[in-house]
Amino acid sequence: KAGVTQTPRYLIKTRGQQVTLSCSPISGHRSVSWYQQTPGQGLQFLFEYFSETQRNKGNFPGRFSGRQFSNSRSEMNVSTLELGDSALYLCASSPTGRSTEAFFGQGTRLTVV
Amino acid sequence: GENVEQHPSTLSVQEGDSAVIKCTYSDSASNYFPWYKQELGKRPQLIIDIRSNVGEKKDQRIAVTLNKTAKHFSLHITETQPEDSAVYFCAASIIQAGTALIFGKGTTLSVSS
């Protein structure tokens, strides 16, 4: 069974631009969550999608948004990029809508210059 | 919202010693507490988890204890080995609310031989 796949693995963007990251969950998993990982703040929860609906949202500005498609694949969008958005963005998939093991992808390393 | 604090931020032990990492959480509704291990350049992986109806859980050299009254939970690693060197994250969530994990800021464990 293929694991969680995130694309692209690396991105370099300029301040003010926008970016879209993609996450394909493990086959059969319906829940996808996104996290931002930085050296200073650790792993911070962004949002969670289940059956195409955003179910939980972390404490991030509205520039961060996401969506989930009918095949459970998810995208995350960041608009008007700031230098502080440079981070590793991880997505995790879970089989059900209740807390169980979350399987993480390798992440997308975003650098904003 | 939930807040998870983790201590210590760094921990150095000799091979064969025990290591203990402690976390506290703020939301008494939290009832699922996983621990993730992240090796350098790799994705976080679940090593053990515990639910609020259990006080202790063991898996070979790893154990987790939970004190619901004090809102504390701890990871215990016995007979540490160099391959245990990694960053360890504790997390908390509410099973019924979905799969949003609120993480502590991590503990960098170094095991020297």
pLDDT digits (tens, 9 = 90+) for A3-62: 999 999 999 999 999 999 999 999 999 999 999 999 988 999 999 999 999 999 999 999
Q: How far apart are CA B45 and CA B62, in angstroms?
A: 14
In this structure, how many other beta carbons lie within 10 angstroms of the beta carbon of residue A107? 23
Q: How far apart are CA A32 and CA B59, in angstroms?
A: 27
Q: How far apart are CA A52 and CA B46, in angstroms?
A: 25
With an 8 Å Cβ cutoff, are A48 and B100 in contact?
Answer: yes
pLDDT of residue A94: 92
Q: What is the pLDDT of residues A31-46, one digit of tens each?
A: 999 999 999 889 999 9
**Residue B52 carries which side chain, given as an amino acid letter?**
S
pLDDT of residue B98: 81
Q: How far apart are CA A74 and CA B3, in angstroms?
A: 26
pLDDT of residue A40: 84
- Flag whether residue B89 sits within 8 Å of chain A, measured between CB atoms: yes
pLDDT: is A46 or B1 the higher one?
A46
pLDDT of residue B96: 82
Cβ contacts of B96 on chain A, cutoff 8 Å: 98
Q: What is the pLDDT of residues B22-71, one digit of tens each?
A: 999 999 999 999 999 999 999 999 999 999 999 999 999 999 999 999 99
Banded model confidence at residue A112, pLDDT cuts 50, 70, 90: very high
**CA-based nearest residue in chain B for residue A97:** B98
With an 8 Å Cβ cutoff, are A56 and B101 in contact?
Answer: no
B89, B95, B97: residue with CB nearest A42: B89
